Structure 1
Amino acid sequence: MTGYPYRGLFGWIAALALAWLAFSSPWQPAWNLLLGTFVIAVVGTAIVVATRRVRARQRASRDVLEAINASLDALPGNIRRNTPLALVVGDRAGAPARAFGEALVQITDTAIWVRVDDSTRLAHVADALKRWREGQGPDAVACLIAADHARDAAVLTAALKRWRVAIGEASRAVGYSLPVCVAVYAEEAGGPADDCAWFGVSGATVPAAGTLCAQLSDRLVSYPQAAVPADRDAHMHRAARLDALVRWASGALLPPLRDEGRDGLRSGPPVDITAFGVTAIDGVPVPDSLYARFVTQVTGLARGPGAVRNASYPLPEPLLRGIALQPVQRAMPRAMAHAFAWLALAFCAAATASAWQNRTLVARVMTDMARYRVIGPEHDVARVDALQALKRDRDELDHYSRSGVPPRLGLGFYRGAGLLAPLNTLIAAYQPPAPLPATIELDSLSLFKSGSALLNLGSNRVLIGALEMIKAHPDKRVLVAGHTDSVGDSRANLKLSEARAASVRDWLADAADLPVTRFAIQGYGETRPKAPNEPEAGRAANRRVEITLVPDCRDEQHDIRESLGHPACTSQ
């Protein structure tokens, strides 16, 4: 694999996210399902976009790759990596057209030159060539500029800025800053018959305009000295024009490429210019070009038309020799490193979620245990509720100990095993309160005077026990039954027993703040003695009031506003 597997990485990220939601998420299942759907939608969209970009890159670079393959069929297989490869940009009607003709690829002794007419396709072509070279991207971008074709400064600056943006996008596509070689051509008529050499610098960042002009001026001064005396004057004229070309190019071409605006503000990343050179070729000078006007202004040499020999533009091979080959950068190790980084991030997220959920589990169990401990035995209903919560906690922890701790609580943070023993101890120590007697029997003489149904002063002390029994059983109805001995008229005894039961009922309802419909009264008179009436002790035992709790089995639809004294669902 030579290209970066974006789609595979997106799928890996989606798998990690879904696994985290399934096994480590502390949220509710509905939220996990919603987030899982969102992750699938986002990753699916990213894969679709990546696929479209791959297809666009393939379409943009298909012609170039076909031309390269056709040109390299007869060359050795290792030519791909051992020979420098440069992308060439420039004006379609300018230097690239004169250097390449109709071809898209030129192979020289120094390098493989690939022509890219549309700068917007530069990033696609650069990425495709990196794949074609099995991980080794292009070694440089050569900007071929014909000085005589630039007639408008604004148009020239806009074109240079487009190249700068395109080179920046290509650098991001291949993963490193592409070195840039700027080659400037000047056409001359009537110059020396020998081919003009390249004058420039290569292999390091091109210095500022002043330093660059000074360096090349020294070399141009020695250029006429190497010529034969007969051609020395022509070489001196050429050297002067090339010196002016260097000054013009350093002021008109390099600042837009480096994004050096006059106001000091940057509008984008500058390019890494590592080679710069100028040369003169046979051609027809253009008197109204920006360069021609600059030459006339600086040197006073007018550029007139001469004999046209239609020579082609030479490729800047000497400038490229100073640029080192790019190393092979395999996409798979980088993709594996990114996949491992995402795995580490997912593990950290899972560990964080596990620690948080374990903390929540321990806090919940400890809270339930503390709540149970603070409830006294006198509040048995609340204590039973707290006990049920402890049993649920115990069952949950016991399930984990027998079936294994789930991933959301694992990862070394589980502390529930140490809570199982204290839970069992608390649950086993529970003792239900002693049951209250189903019936409380009260001595009538402790409540009433003989023959009276009015409660005595201080009788509330006798009724306190019955009151507590009633409050402890809010789901029961209360039957209050009155009994007498056999002394006196039986009908009067029956009426007295019912009146005494009503008095006790009224006091209990008022003291417990309960509706009277919770009570039923019954007067039995002397009909249900518990002892013989002949001795005094037997008659004392028969004079009593019995308070009994009975189930409330009335129909729920019955009107609760029934008459007082309605019998309970029991038989006496």
Structure 2
Amino acid sequence: MNIPNHLRAPLIWITILAAGLIWLFLPLAMQPYWILVFGAVLAIGLGIIGLSVHRQRRLRRLSTDVQLSAMRELPVVLIVGPYAAAAFPRSAQDGVLRREGHAVWLLVKTPEELAATMSMVKESHGRFPDAALMPVLAEGNPDDAVMRREFTQWRRALEETSRNRACVLPCYPAIYACLGARDSGSDKSSWFGDVIDMSIVTPSMDNARQRLQMIRRQLDQSSLTSSQPGRLTRDALGQSVLDWLEDTALLSSIAPLANTAPFALHGLLLADIGYTPTRAGSWTRWLVRKTGLQPPATSIVSEPLPLPEVIPMRVAQTKEYRRIASRHATQHAVAAMAVVLAASFFASGWKNSQMVERIASDLKTYWDTPDEQFNAKRELLGVLRGEYAEVQQYAKGGVPVGLGWGLYKGGELQSALERAIAAYRPPPVVLTLDSLSLFDSGKTSLKAGASQKLQDALKLILSNPDKRILIAGHTDNIGSSDANLKLSEARAKAIRDWFVAESSLPVTLFAIQGYGDTRPLASNRDAAGRARNRRVEITLVPDVKSH
């Protein structure tokens, strides 16, 4: 599939960013294993790079002659704008047409002639012209304000016409300047910027200022790859021409004209023609005023402006242009993968820190909560168990992309959660019975009717087979402490014996303890307080071995 050049970079970025970052917006439970996402991003990026490298190698094997043979006729290029006449000889016989290189060039002197010229080409070739070249002479006029006005007048005149609005004519402004004396024995000009390629039917998304930056990069690259003083001077002067265009706002007058129907800006060119076609003009004056430097002195040559190469291909672009596009695809792929990695590392670090902070806070709250706060302790235990299940799932099923990339801290938290959960001891169950409802005063034998009250306690014991039973007897302070201590222990033993006899439970499951009057619940100064203190407490304690 042939994807337009201006869509390749956005598609590369969208594809790689979607493959690497869309998962971060899903809940952790729905995110894939981070290694899989990393592999997908790496595979897509390497695939794009591999295709770009393969394309460059294939382009090296293509022959420009073979590509040119695909053309059955030469393209027609109109030369337009206020300085179009400078590209043609002054002879009246040959003043409107040039056949040079792989194209036919036609002069359009005024905006009014444009419609008639396009119609003439349509009748003779069966199609409208293929492109338009708009010369811009750096020395075209001593006053840059006059130059701006000339391009503006052309644009306004075009806007007033309505013919041929349906035809889109690719337009290439070309800046002509003398950046250095022509090399000895050479009559070729040096060109920078875009190539006039007939196969590009979709205009570039870049505006004139962005095309200008592309020429700057080409000049910088030329300076880096050449050590010849003349080349360095040429490249520096080329940069100054571009500065002049922006500083004098000429670019702001040229670009609108190049985008006025039927024109559509497709590229921008800079030509070092090696001689001065006219006397010193706006650029020289600007350069002297800004830097105090003079362009190289050359003799004025009265000859038509040189014309750029035209690639009359309809099936493929130029090799060099496509190599540049392939290199750009590789650069975009690498940059997009770097963004994915940086964003993923940042997101993973942030989410890991949140998880560590959350679990560490829950663990601290759990350990700081006293065991006596049964309900709060039990609720916190449920939270820790949920977090333990979460980190255990990651350990078994893989770390999600939002926590991965080598930053996952769940392993350390898992062991801390295990220790906290293992240390939990359920609170004991305590059942308190009134001693006088079970025993007569001062007696250790169960009285009639006591069995009914002990049945409820037995049911509770049988429903908790994993618990051990502590039976503790308590008395008031009536009588001696030794007698009360023996009385309380004897009553606890009597209750234990009843449980064993009624349920066949092993006696080793029970523990008895007599406290006498040492642990009162209330004051023994009144009858109500003494009644509360005369009690038997049956406590169900978790069995350590079964926990």
Q: TM-score range by the shorter chain?
A: 0.3 to 0.5
TM-score in terms of structure 2 length? 0.38
Please report the TM-score for the alignment, with normalisation by the length of structure 1: 0.37
Which structure has more RCO (C-alpha within 8 Å, separation ≥ 6)? 2
